[in-house]
Amino acid sequence: MTAPDKVADTLEAYGVTCGSLEPLIAQRLRALAPGDVLEIRSDMPEARDGIASWVWLTGHALVAVEDEEPPRARYYVKKKGEKGA
């Protein structure tokens, strides 16, 4: 998976655990248009499984993950729906 060329918003979530991360992601996605991409930056190892599970449950899409210096990673979540629909 490669990172998208354009992101609509970035959530800096370093130090945020999954129990607190998913509500923050949901809040940010509500402000975006369908089809927009949210970049989430996290340094929590459990974020990989947590974000993947959350997007599957909510109908959004995890379009890419970029690993940085461990344990940091960037997750790209596309809001469900299509632009212009």
For residue 68, being part of any structural domain is answered with yes
Distances (CA, A) of 32 to 25, 28, 47: 11, 7, 21
**More confidently predicted of 49 and 85:** 49
Alpha-carbon torsion (75, 47, 14, 79), positive or negative: positive
For residue 1, being part of any structural domain is answered with no
The most confident of the ranges 14-18, 56-60, 68-72 is: 56-60
Separation between Cα atoms, residue 32 and residue 40, nearest integer Å: 14
pLDDT given at position 78: 97
For the whole model, what pTM was predicted? 0.91
For residue 83, being part of any structural domain is answered with no
For residue 2, being part of any structural domain is answered with no
Q: How many domains does the chain have?
A: 1
* Residue count of the chain: 85
Range of the domain at 58: 9-78
For residue 84, being part of any structural domain is answered with no
Specify the CATH number for the domain of residue 44.
3.30.110.40
For residue 85, being part of any structural domain is answered with no
Are 61 and 55 in contact by the 8 Å Cβ rule? The answer is yes
For residue 64, being part of any structural domain is answered with yes
